[in-house]
Structure 1
Amino acid sequence: MNEILPIVIYVLVALGVLGSLAALLVRSRRTPPGTYTTTRDPDDDGATASRGVGTDTLERPADLDTGPDVVVPDDLRDLEETRTGVETIPVETPDPVQGRLARLRARLVKSNNALGKGLLALLSRDRIDEDVWDEIEETLLLADLGTEPTTDLVDALRERVKVAGSRSPEEVKTMLREELIRLVDPTMDRTLATDRHADRPAIVMVVGVNGVGKTTTVGKLARVLVAEDKDVLLGAADTFRAAAAEQLATWGQRVGVPTVKSDVDGADPASVAFEAVKAGIEGEVDVVMIDTAGRLQNKVGLMDELGKVKRVIEKQGTVDEVLLVLDATTGQNGLNQAKVFAEVVNITGIVLTKLDGTAKGGIVVAIQRSLGVPVKLIGLGEGADDLAPFEAEAFVDALLN
């Protein structure tokens, strides 16, 4: 009996160890997409971070090889994998992308038709004299069309009305529609560069000043991409605004998209951006989107930092898309912001938010004419799926009701 007892104890201990290993294996396989945290050495001068969390699709490598210009401190290489995600949220199915602008057109018509109606009323008068043309010019300027595009449009309309010799509302409306479409320019390439490359994901940066809705826009764009069956990863490089990372992670969780973020307040945003792209490459996702902190365009240090974030990201791959988020209600001030950001990070597209709350739809033309950069997306409301691809003809038709 005394001889059998030690054997029984050994067997029980072995079974306990095997049971623990099996439980860990099952739990690791069931870990849902969530949030990945980064930790930064406070003495480091740049993009040095390591993900502390992995899932079944994005596992932290044993040794992060970040290249000669980015040093990863040794104490970051052996971090335990512990999930620190936000509260679990049911995964939603985003609305289809096709037809979003048409579905939201009624809202756009309601908010912007003052411009179209005003122009049509003026152009349909029995006698169009210099006073009428002055009123037309004033209407266009108040709609934030800009001086040069306004002059262009008025001159073209003057000539066409004179040649046609007609005042019928339908003919005038047709002329106005054609000239507005020409100014909005349907020939500009408004496609988003979100197709995966052979060896890495597409990389998208989202930039802009404080308060324009960048984080919300990133979340809504994630829904657009998920609706297109793309595998997406988010990078919360806005490390200065309180709760920005949690807000982004919540948007991601709604559609089953993981988020790379830092658990250190005020961490180096370049570190988070670098690790997000690295995680996206390792996880073979289709698109990595980087949310950046809002910054005033006249703050040189902050703008330089934004340039640094882009440079650090590009140690692993070219940034395919740099989207500048602008508030449509800011009018010409938004144009000034756009010029400064374009000098720092080479803007590839504009996202115009709050377009449903302003009658100044002319800002679309002004921005495109000034930067040579297309408006690619417009925000038409507060709903999760109220972000739509911009379509020139549909936009003009909504203006003219």
Structure 2
Amino acid sequence: MEIVILAVVIAVVVLGVLGGLVVGSRRKKPLPPAPPTAPDITAPPAEPHVGDEAETPRDEPRRTIEEVDLPDATATAPVAVEEPPVVEVPAIEVPEPTAGRLVRLRARLSRSQNALGKGLLTLLSREHLDDETWEEIEDTLLTADVGVQPTQELVERLRERVRVLGTRTPAELRSLLREELLKILVPEFDRAVNTDSPLDTPGIVMVVGVNGTGKTTTTGKLARVLVADGKNVVLGAADTFRAAAADQLQTWGERVGARTVRGPEGGDPASIAFDAVKEGIEEGADVVLIDTAGRLHTKTGLMDELGKVKRVVEKHAPLDEVLLVLDATTGQNGLVQARVFAEVVDITGIVLTKLDGTAKGGIVIAVQRELGVPVKLVGLGEGADDLAPFEPEAFVDALIGD
């Protein structure tokens, strides 16, 4: 019995020792406090955590609501008002009268005069007009772009008259040459720009030609010619494929008080032409001038485009005039262009530009013979009023001099 009691006591003691070891292992020795260090002024303040005590508020002077300068709720804040941009309206110009304008610009034809008129007079004044001289006369006419057939006709008539009449003095030769040049220029042609519609609508004038001939500029100058003659003009900027063509035409129109109807760049030319005629009718205008595109990439494309413009415009009223603009300095190349346009639309008149810049004044004769229609206007410079109605007598007088 004593042995059993002793065993129980030993077991209790062993268990007690083991329990003390386990409890002791779970208790950790506290770490010593960290030594004090200088505060890091560059480090951001530690963020507060849940349960942290709030910082004691600092003692700062406090202001009452009366001392705070609050905005007045009743005061209206000033609103900056933008001044509208000042648009300068160009002054309306008074174009130079067209009557006698070609006579006033006669000096501009001096280059053509030297090559054609004076050259012919010099040859005709020779003591002996043999075959060689007549060949030189023929060459002079051909060089001046008169054309082969008109040159042959003119030389034959001159030879016959000189032979029959025996004309020899300078005055007689000048008179003879003047008569023959006038005859070949067909003075009986009606050279007035037709702007009078038989209907109760404005006269409709379509301007065609290759880009680079001065087509848009000529349309603007033609507006000045018509305004100078007392007409009220509306411009249609149907050349939508050339950059700034509409701006250029509008600038010309503003100078004489003519309104320009235009559309987006690359838009439908026929639509713009239609709107221009429509607005011309609504405004009671006298004339509507339509500037068309001058592309010659393919004859088919040109034909379709101009044909469409013509058809659409004629839903309002028939065209009264179709003017072809040609550059006089291109000579015979201009005749090739003329043939293409004549196949596309019915040309009723020709405008020759840059006639002052060429020694080939004979292009007037050649283009009339080629198309069978009259030269109605000629450009003799870059001035705004340098577009003149063509007058055969004044032209011939300028060519051969006094």
Please give the range of the TM-score, normalised by the shorter of the 2 chains.
0.7 to 0.9
Helix, strand or coil at the partner of 1:205: strand
Deviation at 1:339, TM superposition (A): 1.3
Q: Give runs of aligned pairs for residues 33-48 of structure 1, distance below 5 A.
A: none
Relative to structure 1, is the Cα distance of residues 218 and 87 closer, same or farther in structure 2, using a 3 angstrom cutoff? farther
Q: For residues 136-182 of structure 1, what are the alpha-carbon distances to aligned partners after superposition, in whole Å with 9 as ceiling and x for unaligned?
A: 00000000000000000000000011012232111111111100000
Q: Provide the residue aligned with 2:295 in structure 1.
A: 295
Counterpart of 1:360 in 2: which secondary structure? Answer: coil
The alignment partner of 2:339 has SS state of: helix
1:298 deviates by 4.4
Report what 2:38 is aligned to.
Answer: none
8 Å CA contact retained: 2:196, 2:320: no
> What does residue 256 of structure 1 align with?
257
User: Are the structure 2 counterparts of residues 87 and 297 from structure 1 closer, same or farther at C-alpha, using a change threshold of 3 Å?
Assistant: farther
Contact 1:89–1:250 (CA under 8 A) maintained in structure 2: no
Residue 302 of structure 2 contacts residue 344 of structure 2 at CA under 8 Å; is this kept in 1? no
What's 1:392 paired with? Answer: 392
Distance in 1 of aligned mates of 2:306 and 2:197: 24
Change (3 A) 1:272 1:295: same
What SS does the corresponding residue of 1:236 show, helix, strand or coil?
strand
Aligned length in residues: 315
Q: State the partner residue of 1:187.
A: 188
Does residue 326 in structure 1 map to residue 305 in structure 2?
no
Measure how far apart 1:90 and its partner are.
Answer: 1.4
Relative to 1, partners in 2 of residues 1:282 and 1:197: Cα closer, same or farther, differing over 3 Å?
farther
Shift of 1:297: 7.0
Other-structure match for 2:357: 357
Give deviations 1:72-113, integer Å, cap 9, x for gaps: xxxxxxxxxxxxxx9632111100111211110111134433
Distance 1:203 1:391 in 2: 23
Q: Partners in 2 of 1:87 and 1:144 — Cα distance? A: 47
Partner amino acid, structure 2, of 1:397? D
Contact between 2:115 and 2:360, CA under 8 Å: does it hold in 1?
no
Counterpart Cα distance in 1 of 2:190 and 2:299? 31
For residues 290 and 332 of structure 2, the distance between their equivalents in structure 1, rounded to whole angstroms, comes to: 27
Aligned ranges 1:265-304 → 2 under 5 Å? 265-296=265-296, 298-304=298-304
Cα distance between partner residues in 1 of 2:288 and 2:399: 34
Q: Supply the AA of the counterpart residue of 2:367.
A: I
Q: Which amino acid aligns with 2:379?
A: G
State the distance in 1 between where 2:208 and 2:371 align: 16
SS at 1:131 equivalent: helix
- Give, in whole Å, the separation in 2 of the partners of 1:191 and 1:295: 27
SS in structure 1 at match of 2:309? helix
Tell me by how many angstroms 1:306 deviates: 1.1
Distance 1:100 1:88 in 2: 29
Structure 2 matches for 1:9-158, cutoff 5 A? 88-158=89-159
Once the two structures are superposed, the pairs formed by residues 198-347 of structure 1 within 5 Å of their partners are: 198-262=199-263, 264-296=264-296, 298-347=298-347
Name the residue aligned to 1:169: 170
Contact 2:234–2:276, Cα closer than 8 Å, also in 1:
yes
What per-residue deviation string (whole Å, max 9, x for no partner) do you get for residues 315-367 of structure 1?
A: 11000000000000111111111111111110000000000001111111111
C-alpha contact 2:208 2:323 (8 A) present in aligned 1: yes
Q: Distance between the aligned counterparts of 2:89 and 2:210, measured in 1?
A: 30
Confirm or deny: 8 A CA contact 1:297 1:341 kept in the other structure. no
How far apart are the structure 2 equivalents of 1:302 and 1:178?
Answer: 40
Q: 1:336 to 1:163 in 2, by over 3 A?
A: same
Contact 1:109–1:399 (CA under 8 A) maintained in structure 2: yes
Instruction: Report the AA paired with residue 318 of structure 1.
Output: P
CA distance in 2, matches of 1:371, 1:141: 18
TM-score, length basis structure 2: 0.77
Rg comparison, structure with higher value: 2
Instruction: Extract unaligned runs of 5+ from structure 2.
Output: 1-86
What is the SS of the residue equivalent to 1:219?
helix
Q: The residue matched to 1:241 in structure 2 has which SS?
A: coil
Which secondary structure state, in structure 2, belongs to the residue aligned with residue 285 of structure 1?
A: coil
RMSD in angstroms over aligned alpha carbons? 1.3
Report the CA distance shift for 1:394/1:337 in structure 2 as closer, same or farther (over 3 A). Answer: same
Contact 2:239 2:294 in 1 (8 A): yes
Conserved? CA contact 1:235–1:272, under 8 Å? yes
Distance 1:212 1:133 in 2: 34
* Contact map agreement 2:112 2:360 (CA 8 A) in 1: no
Does the 8 Å CA contact 2:326/2:351 hold for their aligned counterparts?
A: yes
Q: Quote the Cα distance in structure 2 between the aligned partners of 1:189 and 1:214.
A: 22
Asked if the contact 2:299/2:340 (under 8 Å) is kept, the reply is no
Is the contact made by 1:193 and 1:202 (CA closer than 8 Å) also made in structure 2?
yes
For residues 300 and 146 of structure 2, the distance between their equivalents in structure 1, rounded to whole angstroms, comes to 29
Percent identity over the alignment is 70
**Counterpart Cα distance in 2 of 1:206 and 1:266:** 19
**Could you tell me whether the CA contact under 8 Å between 1:113 and 1:398 is conserved in 2?**
no
Q: Which amino acid aligns with 1:371?
A: L
Separation in 1, partners of 2:235, 2:158: 47
CA drift at 1:295:
1.6
Give 3-state SS (helix, strand or coil) of 1:166's partner: coil
